[in-house]
Amino acid sequence: MARAVVAIVGRPNVGKSTIFNRIIGDRLSIVEDKPGVTRDRIYGVGEWNGRSFSIIDTGGIELNDEQILKSIKAQAELAIEEADVIVLMCDAKAGLTQSDSEVAEMLYRSKKPIILAVNKVDNMTRMDDTYEFYNLGLGDPIGVSGAHGSGVGDLLDVIVEKLPDTTDEEYDEDVIRVALIGRPNVGKSSLVNALLGEQRVIVSDVAGTTRDAIDTEFERDGQRYVLIDTAGMRKRGKVYENLEKYSVMRAMRAIERADVVAVVINGEEGIIEQDKHIAGYAIEAGKASVFVVNKWDVVEKDDKTMQHFENSIRNHFLFMTYAPVVFLSALTGQRVQKLLPVVNRAAEQHSRRIATGLLNDVISDAVAINPPPTDKGRRMRINYATQVAVKPPTIVVFVNAPELMHFSYERYLENKIRAAFDFEGTPIRIFTRRKSEDKD
């Protein structure tokens, strides 16, 4: 089921990232007492009273001091378009500002649920400073303290109360849902048309033409698919050209609903930082993945070009070495037929379950070849392992002392498991747990 989306909007340095981190329970946004410091991490998942929702920290789109108001308005516009619920964050210490008023007016016109939160209410005296924010006309301000965490529960109560019911389209279990993700203008819509063999999606060479995620059902060689074509930027213009990272928001919605994620890269332009950000969300969501290098027809190449490009992908996406790479041209149709068999394989491996006996044989052999290292005279002992879930394959390793499981040894075990069982195209999750009767 696709999650509802909550956006935190406000001028720089009001504490959006601090509240964002409080809600998702991790310090994924950089927090620094300097306006406009948020740059990379803008998307997380929050949960409260049994409701899960996606949350956007719009601080990631700050531009520069000369364009602060323009930037804040851009945040508000994007939040209005993307979010189901919007939190306007203000600052009790600074008081009500013109920027707050202008953004509040924009949000009010959106007719979307707006929650007014006033940050830096670090004590009861500060609560008096929230009253002037009634002038924004957005109802009762909720006083919160990002530094201390007070009031965040009250804020979450209101957020959950205003979340819409989210229902996902129902597809049969044998249908493979494929999300095409990538930055604007890498050719996602063209690829949909090439796979379908007809013009089902409008194609343009202007970045950001596609407006919404579109589900397209079709069948090929007896296998049914749903293609989820993710939109690029909806707006065009200088401000939005600088905000391409917001294509991540739509990509996330598509990723959540997909079985296999096709990360589309522009072969003509090569790999850029935003490609890595977008692919990273597929990893976090635990989805099967395939790299699709599009526009391969216009790349000058020799007999080593393809291998060099694949090596570049491996170097840039170090934690996705399991993902196969398909080179194609959606425009000419070159090699497009190779994509679906690779998708099928990734979907199959994503759902694969390994018998406990076979898994433990592989683990035992791995330990015999390379025993776990010691730490201050203590050595981790692996008792047994079992696969507890699929999509992605999830393995729990029971040991005497979980704290002794080093990341490098976990990666070693994963490599041995992959060597034995393949799992091409899918991440594997390994969790270490203490064997209950072990007191060692």
- Which residue matches tokens 């909806």? 234
- Is 17 annotated in a binding site? The answer is yes
- Is 151 annotated in a binding site? The answer is no
Give, for 410, the enclosing helix (H) or strand (E).
helix 407-421
- Is 182 annotated in a binding site? The answer is yes
Do 108 and 137 touch, CB atoms closer than 8 A?
yes
- Is 120 annotated in a binding site? The answer is yes
- Is 186 annotated in a binding site? The answer is yes
159: left (phi over 0), alpha (psi -120 to 50) or beta: alpha
- Is 229 annotated in a binding site? The answer is yes
- Is 172 annotated in a binding site? The answer is no
- Is 233 annotated in a binding site? The answer is yes
Phi, psi (deg, nearest 5) at residue 226: -125, 120
- Is 232 annotated in a binding site? The answer is yes
- Is 396 annotated in a binding site? The answer is no
- Is 35 annotated in a binding site? The answer is no
Do 144 and 116 touch, CB atoms closer than 8 A?
no
- Is 338 annotated in a binding site? The answer is no
Q: Which residues contact 351 (CB under 8 A, 6 or more apart)?
A: 390, 391
- Is 372 annotated in a binding site? The answer is no
- Is 298 annotated in a binding site? The answer is no
- Is 141 annotated in a binding site? The answer is no
Is omega for the bond preceding 393 within 30 degrees of 0, making it cis? Answer: no
- Which residue matches tokens 């992605």? 392
- Is 417 annotated in a binding site? The answer is no
CA angle 70, 74, 79 (to 5 degrees): 150
Strand pairing class (378-379; 374-375): antiparallel
Do 431 and 394 touch, CB atoms closer than 8 A?
yes
- Is 294 annotated in a binding site? The answer is yes
Buried b (16+ CB within 10 A) or exposed e, 93-107: eeebeebbeebbebb
As a three-state string, the secondary structure of 130-163 is: HHHHHHHCCCCCEECCCCCCCCHHHHHHHHHHHC
- Is 10 annotated in a binding site? The answer is yes
- Is 121 annotated in a binding site? The answer is yes
- Is 362 annotated in a binding site? The answer is no
- Is 122 annotated in a binding site? The answer is yes
- Is 230 annotated in a binding site? The answer is yes
Please report how the helices 273-284 and 247-257 are oriented relative to each other, as an axis angle in degrees rounded to 10: 30
- Is 295 annotated in a binding site? The answer is yes
- Is 341 annotated in a binding site? The answer is no
- Is 312 annotated in a binding site? The answer is no
Closest CA to 182 of 210, 201, 202: 210
- Is 13 annotated in a binding site? The answer is yes
Q: Partners of 52 in the beta sheet?
A: 47
Buried b (16+ CB within 10 A) or exposed e, 338-358: ebbebbbbbbbbbbbebeeee
**Annotated binding residues for GTP, as ranges?**
10-17, 57-61, 119-122, 182-189, 229-233, 294-297
Binding residues, by number, are: 10-17, 57-61, 119-122, 182-189, 229-233, 294-297
